Amino acid sequence: MTVAWWCSSTPGQIWTWRYTPFIGVWVVAATFIGGYLLAHRRAGRQVDPRLLRRWVLGVLALFLVSEWPIGQLGVGYLATVGIARYIVYTFVAAPLLLAGLPDWLVVRWFPDGSRRRRVLAAVTTWPIALLLFNAVLFGTHLPITVDTLKVTQLGSFGVDVLHLGAALIWWWPAMQKVPAGNAIEEPLRAFYLFASSVLMFVPAAFLTFSPLPLYGLYELAPPLWLGFDPTADQQAAGVMMNIGGGLVLWAIIATLFLRWAAAKEAEDTAARRVRNEATLARIAALEAETAGTPGAVGLDPDRPASAD
Amino acid sequence: MSSPRSARSSRPPRVRTLALLLVAGLLAAACGPASATAIAAQGLEPGPDGWRGIPLERERSMPEATLLDTEGAEVALHEAFAGTPTLLFFGYTSCPDICPIHLAAIASAMGTAGVSFDDLDVVFVSVDPDRDTPERIDDYLANFSRHMVGLHGDLAVVEDALAQLDLPGPIVEGPDPRGEGDLIGHPAQVIGFDADGQALRTWPFGARRSDWISDLPRIVEEWS
């Protein structure tokens, strides 16, 4: 059995359904889950099963798209699967990992006043996060980057780390993690997420509308079946980035927006209720006061307000 | 209770060193190119004259060899393709990588560049007479273009044709990992002949559609 560190493009290597474990993927997944549990133990905290479930699901998503066969197919053979991997890294794994991360653990890993905390605070301000995310999105989808980095295991690993890192930074302010000062909410959050979905159309359009394969890596990979067309595969990858990524993101935007709107509505209703109760109390007090005064006009709605 | 910082600093240095060595080792193992052909992903560099195909240093002609087409008719290479520029490629239908990549790239680039099969012959010669029956060659080429010419013949004739071009003969490389018989080693380049049957340039494995789109119109214009 062949063993490798990380999935990478292997031009000239014929695709077979023979299992090739990627040791690095297992090491990373074990480190993520082991580190999470160990951090709880060291801090003497109980693991919150709800948060653990999200964390494990995030790790599972990373694992599934990085391990054989999806990892190998996506990096070495099919651009469509490559883009699907990016979507899972960015829009599934990263938010799940952040959703599973308790704030106290963030504070523990990034203590107040530490340099790490200052760096975190700087990169997770929303304009910087938006810039970094899109720089990585554009940079890592350039043909020169793909054809140069993804042909080595280290380069391919580096690209995956960049994708996950940029996605975590990008989600950070939107998911309102600490530092609280960087958290954004609607309507800014909706704009922030929407802006990225629109910018994502640019590389997606290049993939969809280019008449030629942009990536030599996929064009020169041994075809999975006779008659395989790398241009059609690339177009499908572009559509996937556009529709798949766009739809996932827009669904998230809509969910967050509706949740925010519902919360605002509830807040307004509660505030209105308090105001109404205060008004009613004032009216009742006034009524009680006027009821004791002979000849006064009553405020009882069942009685005429005017003698005219 | 010790703080996280002091707990970290009290960790035995040997463990940390070992962990670092392990990570460094894994990363170093991951640094090498995944395969020797990885460099081909960038395509061909244009030469000073703008051609992507590599000029041949020694003069060679279309081999004097007679093969059979898929309908069983004899085809003398040096006569049949005289008068039209020709791209000649030796391969086999069970080939998992080089052959389908080359043929797909040429067929697709001809469509994009608007080059007609009337102006350029694309000839595929089988180096695997045992498996490549005429029907199989026909079916295979139909995946790329029905206008490509498929030829076959005795292995000795094919080897002689290759030798006339100073190319090595086919060799059995071992079992195909897909379980489809043996892999056969064969020349990986496409050879370009002008209308007079002179071999002028070759396109090694790694030639991309963009390379062919750049060269095909020049082949038709300058070699006819």
Burial (CB < 10 A; 0-12, 13-18, 19+), residue A299, is: middle
Nearest to B35 among A12, A108, A229 (CB): A12
Residue A85: domain span: 23-266
* Dihedral-angle region of residue A176 (phi above 0 means left; psi in -120 to 50 means alpha; beta otherwise): left
Rounded to an integer, the average pLDDT of B59-76 is 97
**Number of helical (H) and strand (E) elements in chain B, helices listed first:** 7, 10
Q: Could you tell me if B209 lies within 8 Å of chain A, comparing CB atoms?
A: yes
- Looking at CA atoms only, how far is residue B51 from chain A in angstroms? 19
Contacts of A163-167 with CB under 8 Å at 24 or more apart are: A163/A86, A163/A89, A163/A90, A163/A136, A164/A62, A164/A89, A164/A93, A164/A94, A165/A136, A166/A90, A166/A132, A166/A133, A166/A135, A166/A136, A166/A137, A167/A89, A167/A90, A167/A91, A167/A93, A167/A94, A167/A133
Tell which of A27, A68, A152, A226 to mutate to test the B interface (max B CBs under 10 Å): A226
What count of other Cβ atoms lies within 10 Å of the Cβ of residue B144? 22
Per-residue confidence band for B16, with pLDDT thresholds at 50, 70 and 90 = low
Can you give the pLDDT at residue A298?
Answer: 47
Contacts of B100 in chain A (CB under 8 A): 222-223, 226, 228
Average pLDDT value for chain B: 88
Taking alpha carbons only, the member of B189, B153, B194, B216 closest to residue B54 is B189
Q: Are residues B138 and B65 in the same domain?
A: yes
Whether residue A168 lies inside any domain: the answer is: yes
HSE of A81 in the Cβ direction (CA atoms, 13 Å)?
20
Q: Is the Cβ pair A220, B41 closer than 8 Å?
A: yes
Both tokens of B37, joined, read: 């052909």
Nearest to B37 among A12, A148, A152 (CB): A12
Q: Is the Cβ pair B37, A11 closer than 8 Å?
A: yes
- Model confidence at B15: pLDDT above 90: no
What are A97-111's pLDDT values in tens digits? 999 999 999 999 999
Min mean pLDDT across B36-40, B74-78, B124-128, B166-170 is at B36-40
Can you give the pLDDT at residue B18?
Answer: 60
Contacts of B19 in chain A (CB under 8 A): none
Considering its fold, how many domains does chain A have in total? 1
Whether residue B156 lies inside any domain: the answer is: yes
Whether residue A100 lies inside any domain: the answer is: yes
DSSP string for A100-125:
TS-HHHHHHHS-TTSHHHHHHHHHTS
Q: Are residues B92 and B162 in the same domain?
A: yes
Q: Is the Cβ pair A152, B97 closer than 8 Å?
A: no
Q: Are residues B84 and B19 in the same domain?
A: no
Helix %, strand %, coil % for chain B, to 5?
A: 40, 25, 40
Q: Is the Cβ pair A9, B41 closer than 8 Å?
A: yes
Can you give the pLDDT at residue B60?
Answer: 94
Q: Is the Cβ pair B105, A219 closer than 8 Å?
A: yes
- Model confidence at A297: pLDDT above 90: no
Q: Is the Cβ pair B26, A24 closer than 8 Å?
A: yes
Whether residue A85 lies inside any domain: the answer is: yes
Q: Are residues B208 and B134 in the same domain?
A: yes
Can you give the pLDDT at residue A248?
Answer: 82
- Model confidence at B6: pLDDT above 70: no
CATH number at residue B176: 3.40.30.10
Angstrom distance (rounded) from CA A124 to CA B202? 53
Can you give the pLDDT at residue B118?
Answer: 97
Q: Could you tell me if B13 lies within 8 Å of chain A, comparing CB atoms?
A: no
Q: Could you tell me if B101 lies within 8 Å of chain A, comparing CB atoms?
A: yes
Rounded to an integer, the average pLDDT of A142-149 is 96
> Of all residues in chain A, what percent carry a pLDDT higher than 90?
75
What are A34-44's pLDDT values in tens digits? 999 999 999 99
What are A273-282's pLDDT values in tens digits? 999 999 999 9
Per-residue confidence band for B20, with pLDDT thresholds at 50, 70 and 90 = low
Contacts of B138 in chain A (CB under 8 A): none
Can you give the pLDDT at residue B9?
Answer: 45
* Dmax (CA) of chain B: 92
Q: Is the Cβ pair A223, B7 closer than 8 Å?
A: no
Q: Is the Cβ pair B101, A151 closer than 8 Å?
A: no
Q: Are residues B108 and B84 in the same domain?
A: yes
Whether residue A10 lies inside any domain: the answer is: no
Instruction: Tell whether omega for the bond before A179 is within 30 degrees of 0, i.e. cis.
Output: yes
Tell which of A108, A151, A160 to mutate to test the B interface (max B CBs under 10 Å): A151
Nearest to B35 among A11, A154, A229 (CB): A11
DSSP string for B6-47:
HHHHTS-HHHHHHHHHHHHHHHHHHHSBSSGGGGGGG-PPP-
Whether residue B37 lies inside any domain: the answer is: no
Angstrom distance (rounded) from CA A125 to CA A110? 15
Whether residue A6 lies inside any domain: the answer is: no
Q: Could you tell me if B35 lies within 8 Å of chain A, comparing CB atoms?
A: yes
Q: Compute, in degrees rounded to 10, the torsion defined by CA atoms A123, A125, A130, A132.
A: -10
Residue A66's alpha-carbon distances to A1, A182, B87, in angstroms, are: 18, 31, 41
Can you give the pLDDT at residue B38?
Answer: 38
What are A203-251's pLDDT values in tens digits? 999 999 999 999 999 999 999 999 899 999 999 999 999 887 888 888 8
> Which position has the higher pLDDT, B182 or B18?
B182
What are A153-172's pLDDT values in tens digits? 999 999 999 999 999 999 99
Can you give the pLDDT at residue B34?
Answer: 40
Can you give the pLDDT at residue A307?
Answer: 41
Q: In 3-state terms, what secondary structure has residue B141?
A: helix
Whether residue A271 lies inside any domain: the answer is: no
Q: In 3-state terms, what secondary structure has residue B76?
A: strand
Angstrom distance (rounded) from CA A48 to CA B212? 59
Average pLDDT value for chain A: 91
Angstrom distance (rounded) from CA B165 to CA B163? 5
Whether residue A276 lies inside any domain: the answer is: no
Can you give the pLDDT at residue B67?
Answer: 98
Considering its fold, how many domains does chain B have in total? 2
Per-residue confidence band for A302, with pLDDT thresholds at 50, 70 and 90 = low
Whether residue A217 lies inside any domain: the answer is: yes
Per-residue confidence band for A260, with pLDDT thresholds at 50, 70 and 90 = confident
Q: Considering only alpha carbons, which residue of chain B is nearest residue A17? A: B178
Q: Could you tell me if B40 lies within 8 Å of chain A, comparing CB atoms?
A: yes
Q: Could you tell me if B6 lies within 8 Å of chain A, comparing CB atoms?
A: no
Angstrom distance (rounded) from CA B222 to CA B83? 13
- Looking at CA atoms only, how far is residue B83 from chain A in angstroms? 30
Angstrom distance (rounded) from CA A244 to CA A247? 5
Q: Check: CB of residue B223 under 8 Å from CB of residue B200.
A: yes
Contacts of B7 in chain A (CB under 8 A): 42
Q: Are residues B17 and B109 in the same domain?
A: no
Q: Are residues B62 and B100 in the same domain?
A: yes
- Looking at CA atoms only, how far is residue B38 from chain A in angstroms? 5
Q: Is the Cβ pair A13, B34 closer than 8 Å?
A: yes
* Dmax (CA) of chain A: 104
Per-residue confidence band for A180, with pLDDT thresholds at 50, 70 and 90 = confident
Q: Are residues B185 and B146 in the same domain?
A: yes
Q: In 3-state terms, what secondary structure has residue B171?
A: strand
Q: Are residues B187 and B90 in the same domain?
A: yes
- Model confidence at B192: pLDDT above 90: yes
Can you give the pLDDT at residue A230?
Answer: 96
Burial (CB < 10 A; 0-12, 13-18, 19+), residue B160, is: middle
Nearest to B35 among A10, A108, A226 (CB): A10
Q: Are residues B180 and B219 in the same domain?
A: yes
- Model confidence at A176: pLDDT above 90: no
Q: Are residues B12 and B75 in the same domain?
A: no
Can you give the pLDDT at residue B22?
Answer: 58
Residue A134's alpha-carbon distances to A126, A146, A236, B52, B69, in angstroms, are: 12, 16, 21, 34, 55
Residue B8: domain span: 4-32
Tell which of A25, A66, A107, A220 to mutate to test the B interface (max B CBs under 10 Å): A220
Can you give the pLDDT at residue A28?
Answer: 97
What are B97-122's pLDDT values in tens digits? 999 999 999 999 999 999 999 999 99
Q: Could you tell me if B10 lies within 8 Å of chain A, comparing CB atoms?
A: no
- Model confidence at B143: pLDDT above 60: yes
Q: Is the Cβ pair A9, B178 closer than 8 Å?
A: no
> Which position has the higher pLDDT, B13 or B189?
B189
- Looking at CA atoms only, how far is residue A27 from chain B in angstroms? 10
Taking alpha carbons only, the member of B217, B222, B223, B216 closest to residue B198 is B223
Whether residue B87 lies inside any domain: the answer is: yes
